[in-house]
Chains A and B, each alone.
Chain A
Amino acid sequence: MFSLYKKEVQSYFCSPFAFVISALFLFVFSLSFISGISNMDSSVMKFSFSNIFYNGFFYFIFMIPLLTMRTFAEERKSKTETLWLSAPITVPQVVFAKFLAVATVFLLMMVLSLFFPLVVQLKGNVIVSSLICGYLGFFLWSLVCIAVGMMMSALTDNPIIAAVLGEASMILLVFLDNFTTTDLVQSVPVLSKVLTWFSTEVRFGAFSQGLFSLADLVFFISLTLVVLVWTVIVIEKRRWSRG
Chain B
Amino acid sequence: MNTVLRIQPVRVSRLTVLRVTGGQETKGAYIYMVEIQNLTKYYGLHPAVQDISFTVGDHEVLGFLGPNGAGKSTTMNMITGCLPSTSGTVLVDGYDIAKDPMEVKKRIGYLPEIPPVYPEMRVRDYLTFAAGLKKVPSSERKKQVENAMERLRITDVQRRIIGNLSKGYRQRVGFAQALLGNPKFLILDEPTVGLDPTQVMEVRSLIQDLAREHTIIFSTHILAEVTAVCQRVVIINKGKIRAVDTIANLQRSTGDDLRLKLKVEGDMTKVSAIIGDVPGIKAIEEVTVESAGVNAFTVAIESEDVRKPLMTALISADCMVLEITAVQASLEDAFVKITGSGKQSREEAFEELGREMDAQREAEEAAKAEATDAANGKEDKD
A139 to chain B, nearest CB (A): 27
- By beta carbon, the residue of chain A nearest B102 is A88
Would B133 and A83 count as touching, CB distance under 8 A?
yes
Task: List chain B residues, Cβ under 8 A from A2.
Answer: 132
Scan A1-24; emit 1 where CB is below 8 A from any B CB, else 0: 011101100110011000000000
Would A85 and B81 count as touching, CB distance under 8 A?
yes
Task: List chain A residues, Cβ under 8 A from B119.
Answer: 78
Would B81 and A84 count as touching, CB distance under 8 A?
no
A89 to chain B, nearest CB (A): 6
A227 to B218, CA, bound (A): 39
Please judge, given known A-B contacts A3-B133, A88-B134, whether A83 and B105 are in contact too, CB under 8 Å.
no
Q: Does A215 contact B (CB under 8 A)?
A: no
Would A3 and B129 count as touching, CB distance under 8 A?
yes
Task: List chain A residues, Cβ under 8 A from B84.
Answer: 239-240
A11 to B119, CA, bound (A): 10
- By beta carbon, the residue of chain B nearest A14 is B120
B215 to chain A, nearest CB (A): 16
Would B43 and A81 count as touching, CB distance under 8 A?
no
Would A82 and B106 count as touching, CB distance under 8 A?
no
Would B132 and A82 count as touching, CB distance under 8 A?
no
Task: List chain B residues, Cβ under 8 A from A86.
Answer: 80-82, 105, 108, 110, 112
Q: Which of B47-101 contact A (CB under 8 A)?
A: 48, 74, 77, 80-84, 101
Q: Does B130 contact A (CB under 8 A)?
A: yes
Scan A204-243; emit 1 where CB is below 8 A from any B CB, else 0: 0000000000000000000000000000000000011011
Most buried by A among B131, B132, B177: B132
Please report whether the interface of chain B is mostly helix, strand, loop or mixed according to DSSP. mixed
Would B81 and A80 count as touching, CB distance under 8 A?
no
Would A80 and B118 count as touching, CB distance under 8 A?
yes
B87 to chain A, nearest CB (A): 13
Other-chain contact of B82, A4, A15, A85, A90 (Cβ < 8 Å): A85
Most buried by A among B80, B118, B121, B133: B133
Task: List chain B residues, Cβ under 8 A from A10.
Answer: 121, 125
A85 to B84, CA, bound (A): 11
B164 to chain A, nearest CB (A): 13
Task: List chain B residues, Cβ under 8 A from A90.
Answer: 101-102
A20 to chain B, nearest CB (A): 14
Please judge, given known A-B contacts A86-B105, A240-B84, whether A80 and B117 are in contact too, CB under 8 Å.
yes
A90 to B114, CA, bound (A): 22
Would A81 and B116 count as touching, CB distance under 8 A?
yes
- By beta carbon, the residue of chain A nearest B180 is A87
A87 to B116, CA, bound (A): 12
Would B82 and A82 count as touching, CB distance under 8 A?
yes
A174 to chain B, nearest CB (A): 32
A79 to B135, CA, bound (A): 21
Complex A-B: 6 CB contacts under 8 Å: A3-B131, A4-B133, A79-B116, A86-B112, A239-B82, A243-B74
